[in-house]
Amino acid sequence: MGAQFEAAVTLDAEMIMQTYGRKPVMFVRGEGMRLFDDEGREYLDFVSGIGAVNLGHAHPAVAAAVCEQMSKLVHVSNLFYVEHRAELAADVSELLGGGWHMFFANSGTEAVEGAIKLARRWAGFHKPGAYKVVTLERSFHGRTLAALAATGQASKQEAFKPLPEGFVHVPANDVAALAAAVDETVAAVMIEVVQGEGGVWPLTAEYLSAARRICDEAGCLLIADEVQTGFYRTGPAFAHQAFGVVPDVVTVAKALGNGLPIGGFLARGSAAEALQPGDHGSTFGGGPAICAAARATLAAMAEQRVGDNAVRVGAYLRERLAAIGEQTGALSDVRGSGLMVGVTLSKPIAAQVAALGLERGLVLNNIGTDILRFLPPLVCGKPEIDTLCSTLTNILVEVSAE
């Protein structure tokens, strides 16, 4: 442990609320897929800031856009028109097919909170008496109170009860359970097309189509939480687009700023007109600097065709992981889409594997005791996957033998 790192650990323990179990490393620089710690050691990043740095670290076009805008104007609030805000909304709307209206926030959980408020406000106009939001078991929608109540993981909720009322959780990929839960009291159904934080569990095409039909028949909104899956993580710009299902509301965040904090939600049709002046707000949402960064991010993503790379390299990653499972017997159930991949380990050794990975130059993410989640930057190539799989195989063989 170097002196700079040791001092940082000590000060962190003294000054920062310990809400995260931090890994024993301090990164000081990034470049594409690679991170460098305070002693100059190089790592391959398979977490990308929890799916937020889709273009890779320190992308020059994003850095240039931020620097240029920061030198001109940083913040004046939403009381005024600013450069880049409406243009960015138009860019995102175009990715969704056009005709969408956007609200800007600062994070994914704020995006979800806003979408829930929009659904209840919309119901006030179009379905009086409806207020419930149906979400799926194992889902994750954020850590603010309403977003936490929407989250389908009881273990994350227990310490914070009583939570806001009006949330119903049903099993994923169970059409009958969803149909039974959606009644005259339901304002919206909210889904993640791939449940990321829950362990990378994809919904089926049949379930997504059924969810759209059930919402239409019940006269409620379908919200797609694309905070983690948005902006080419699974291949298409948004995960739901691979299934031909069009939601009424879409939440976004994470990769839109390529690591800088931004979030928001988009709505179409009558849902886009639900929120009235004074109903919702954000002091920093849609500021000129972050919007300039996000516009540069989207332009670079399109130019570099990161979605095509996610499909190609993601398929290679899943193939290599499946082969490791056959070779070692240490992992199974390789799943996911694009460069959003999860595996279940045959023993509860996920934290140990991630720790050994870090020692050997791999930044890995364990979920619970037996799941590894892979979210590399979308510029990841096959050589990096080969390095990952070679090192991971050695780790799994070692740990499994203990």
By annotation, the residues acting in catalysis are: 140, 225, 254
DSSP structure class, residue 141: -
Helix (H, G, I), strand (E, B) or coil at 66: helix
Instruction: Tell me the C-alpha to C-alpha distance, in Å, between residue 159 and each of 148, 166, 351.
Output: 11, 18, 23
In the structure encoding, which two tokens stand for residue 19, read together? 């809400």
Residue keyed to tokens 């880049």: 84
Give residue 392's Cα distance to chain centre: 24
Interatomic CA distance for residues 108 and 260, integer angstroms: 12
Interatomic CA distance for residues 195 and 172, integer angstroms: 9
Helix (H, G, I), strand (E, B) or coil at 313: helix
**Cβ partners under 8 Å of residue 27, min gap 6:** 35, 36, 37, 38, 43
Beta strands in 1-55 (DSSP E): 27-31, 34-37, 42-45
Q: Are 376 and 314 in contact (CB under 8 A)?
A: no
Give residue 340's Cα distance to chain centre: 10
DSSP structure class, residue 143: S
Give residue 180's Cα distance to chain centre: 28
Q: Where are the alpha helices (DSSP H) in 196-264?
A: 205-218
Interatomic CA distance for residues 149 and 24, integer angstroms: 32
**Cβ partners under 8 Å of residue 119, min gap 6:** 133, 187, 188, 220, 221, 223, 249, 271
DSSP structure class, residue 374: E
Q: Are 223 and 19 in contact (CB under 8 A)?
A: no
